[in-house]
Chains A and B, each alone.
Chain A
Amino acid sequence: MVIVNGVKVSEKEKRQRLTQEKKSRNISAWDVVKISRHPKRPIFQDYLERIFTNFVELHGDRAFGDDRAIIGGFAQIGNQKVMVIGHNKGKNTTEQIERNFGMAKPEGYRKALRLMKLAQRFNLPVITVIDTPGAFPGLEAEERGQAESIARNITEMANIEVPIISLVIGEGGSGGALGIGVGDRILMLSNAIYSVISPEGCASILWRDAKFAPDAAKALNITAEALYKLDIIDEIIEEPTEGAHADYQQIAANVKRSLLRNLRNLSNISVYELLEQRFEKYAAMGKFAVD
């Protein structure tokens, strides 16, 4: 028996208390990375089922094919009709393979852009849901213009004439995330990450060994909290203490509330103002010195 805060507890209880305290007070960036990749973490389709109704999926990029790693279509949230587009990881191995683990190819980004332009045509706000390790690094992706497709999305999203809300629910993997991520508002779940490179990738370049990933994760400032402090994201959506996987209903409710509030706030802005604000938002990003 040991004494903790004046109360007699067993060794086992003490250990449990300590881990719980560590979790709530001081979880490392690497812990967050692990939570963001947790196999039971809710994915885009979980939010689609719980938050949205009347989902009309739209397929294809009209040029090459239909990428299952990004899906999208018309949907309704509360009374609001929107276009929702997101990275589509799987729940099991079969789904993961079919959806390429949420790693999109050029046709995925081109489909996303097609749907955003369609949203503009229909005057519907766009919600993009980000959850990808990164754009697919493969031969055919390069061949068909992975870089060009992401570049075009980023460029054209600057002028899409409807509000765009980008929500990072899990992994925000570099250009693959930004390819659908140029929103008027960027929201992040409290255990999601957003990074210029995976911690493993960064560690293998700058530390010469991927096993330093936890150090890289810390240095890269990839947690929602760090990015909020850096003025990159606009809002953190709180997850249950152990992570979003602990309570699907709770996290879905929190996400829905936040999306509806942000949709409301963006609904009364003129197109001119909206695009000006979007330009200014991204123009202001970055920190540099002027001598």
Chain B
Amino acid sequence: MSWYTKAIEEKKPQKKTLWIKCRGCGAHIWASEWKQNLSVCPECNYHCSMTAQERINLLFDKDSFHELFENISPVDSLNFNDLKGSYKDKIEANKKKSGILESVVTGHGKIKGFSVVTAIMDFRFLGGSLGSGTGEKILQAANFAYDYGLPYIIFSASGGARMQEGVLSLMQMAKTCAGVARLNKKNIPFISVLLNPTTGGVTASYAMMGDLNISEPGAVIGFAGRRVIEQTIGEKLPDDFQTAEYLLEHGFIDAIVQRKEMRDYLANVLSYYNR
């Protein structure tokens, strides 16, 4: 059988992604074109999720980003076990998979010359869920913005509170909002960018509290899950329910910004900050 094993081994390195299948319309796009188009489908404008690092590269001036509080990571303080195993193992697996230690990357940097403090959630890490470490980093970054009088921008992409941390994760909603409340007292602007998806406890805390709430096209933003609502009311919901467009129509976000225009948009808004 050695010829067989060998054949497989030889084949492996060739397994390079040439095509990306768009999750929005199902179109097959050349990987190079996909990347060049910032992970946005050229056919249907579906905005696919980005890693925190990709977003830093896209939005911040070259070499201006400095990471802060990068040594914070989750602990399994409740010894939480479900059918698929322990939270402890999930933490390790997610660290390995994503190369980051928590579901958010925090730091400061410049957007077209404007200094800001930022927190960028990464959906790959446990679905971007809000755990104690996430809350701590978001609060610490808010405090950094408070101390230095810098605008704060949070990019949210999250399934909500992290169940495996029980009420500790629920309380991160109060903890992060306490940080936002302090910024309000000092008239420091807070811009919330709600990315696909932003749901549950993250929407019901800091993500909705921006002085400006902005989003990308088609992003799903909501509090309760779609299926839960359908079960409650016993009917199907409209297709655009809980999308950025729906929220814009109902007055909860200021603007929907195309990914390729996000950097210019943020810089333009920051240019109005006159304090």
List chain B residues, Cβ under 8 A from A283: 139, 175, 178-179
B interface residue count range (under 10 / 10 to 19 / 20 to 34 / 35 or more):
35 or more
Query: B71 an interface residue at 8 Å Cβ cutoff?
Result: yes
Report the bound CA distance from A134 to B166 in whole Å: 15
- The answer to whether A138 and B229 touch (CB under 8 A), given A148-B252, A289-B72, is yes
State whether B167 touches A196 (Cβ < 8 A): yes
Query: B25 an interface residue at 8 Å Cβ cutoff?
Result: no
Chain A residues numbered 45-59 whose CB sits less than 8 Å from any CB in chain B: none
Q: Which of B165, B173, B185 is A178 in contact with, Cβ under 8 Å? A: B173
Nearest neighbor of B222 in chain A, beta-carbon distance: A142
Query: A1 an interface residue at 8 Å Cβ cutoff?
Result: no
List chain A residues, Cβ under 8 A from B241: 139, 142
Query: B131 an interface residue at 8 Å Cβ cutoff?
Result: yes
Question: Interface digits, A256-291 against B, CB 8 Å rule (1 contact, 0 not)?
Answer: 000000000000000000000011001101111111
Q: Which of B2-10, B73-81, B114-122 contacts A (4 or more CB under 8 A)?
A: B73-81
Question: Interface digits, A175-207 against B, CB 8 Å rule (1 contact, 0 not)?
Answer: 100110110000000000011110001100111
- The answer to whether A175 and B232 touch (CB under 8 A), given A155-B180, A196-B166, A206-B83, is no
List chain A residues, Cβ under 8 A from B239: none
Report the bound CA distance from A205 to B163 in whole Å: 10
Query: A158 an interface residue at 8 Å Cβ cutoff?
Result: yes
Nearest neighbor of B250 in chain A, beta-carbon distance: A143
Query: B215 an interface residue at 8 Å Cβ cutoff?
Result: no
Query: A220 an interface residue at 8 Å Cβ cutoff?
Result: yes
Query: A174 an interface residue at 8 Å Cβ cutoff?
Result: yes
Query: B150 an interface residue at 8 Å Cβ cutoff?
Result: no
List chain B residues, Cβ under 8 A from A174: 161, 170, 201
State whether A138 touches B72 (Cβ < 8 A): no
Query: A232 an interface residue at 8 Å Cβ cutoff?
Result: yes
Query: B203 an interface residue at 8 Å Cβ cutoff?
Result: yes
List chain B residues, Cβ under 8 A from A141: 223-224
State whether A289 touches B203 (Cβ < 8 A): no
- The answer to whether A197 and B163 touch (CB under 8 A), given A151-B203, A174-B170, A285-B174, is yes
Query: B242 an interface residue at 8 Å Cβ cutoff?
Result: yes
State whether A290 touches B71 (Cβ < 8 A): yes
State whether A151 touches B177 (Cβ < 8 A): yes
State whether A147 touches B178 (Cβ < 8 A): no
Nearest neighbor of B180 in chain A, beta-carbon distance: A155
- The answer to whether A289 and B75 touch (CB under 8 A), given A151-B206, A230-B167, is yes
- The answer to whether A286 and B132 touch (CB under 8 A), given A142-B242, A175-B201, A196-B166, is yes
- The answer to whether A207 and B83 touch (CB under 8 A), given A145-B252, A288-B132, is yes
* Minimum distance in angstroms from B219 CB to a CB of chain A: 14
Q: Which of A137, A147, A151, A288 is B136 in contact with, Cβ under 8 Å? A: A288
Chain B residues numbered 182-205 whose CB sits less than 8 Å from any CB in chain A: 182, 184-185, 200-201, 203-205
Report the bound CA distance from A118 to B171 in whole Å: 25
List chain A residues, Cβ under 8 A from B154: none
Question: Interface digits, B116-141 against A, CB 8 Å rule (1 contact, 0 not)?
Answer: 00000000000000011101100100
Question: Interface digits, A156-184 against B, CB 8 Å rule (1 contact, 0 not)?
Answer: 11110000000000000011001101100
Report the bound CA distance from A97 to B33 in whole Å: 55
Chain A residues numbered 200-255 whose CB sits less than 8 Å from any CB in chain B: 201-202, 205-208, 212, 215-216, 219-222, 227, 230, 232
A residues at B contact (CB < 8 Å): 135-139, 141-148, 150-152, 154-159, 174-175, 178-179, 181-182, 194-197, 201-202, 205-208, 212, 215-216, 219-222, 227, 230, 232, 278-279, 282-283, 285-291
Of the A-B pairs whose beta carbons lie under 8 Å apart in the complex, a sample of 12, sorted by A's number, is A135-B223, A142-B222, A145-B250, A154-B173, A182-B174, A194-B170, A196-B170, A197-B161, A206-B84, A219-B80, A279-B178, A291-B101
B residues at A contact (CB < 8 Å): 71-75, 77-78, 80-84, 101-102, 131-133, 135-136, 139, 161-163, 165-175, 177-182, 184-185, 200-201, 203-209, 222-225, 228-229, 232-233, 237, 241-242, 250-252
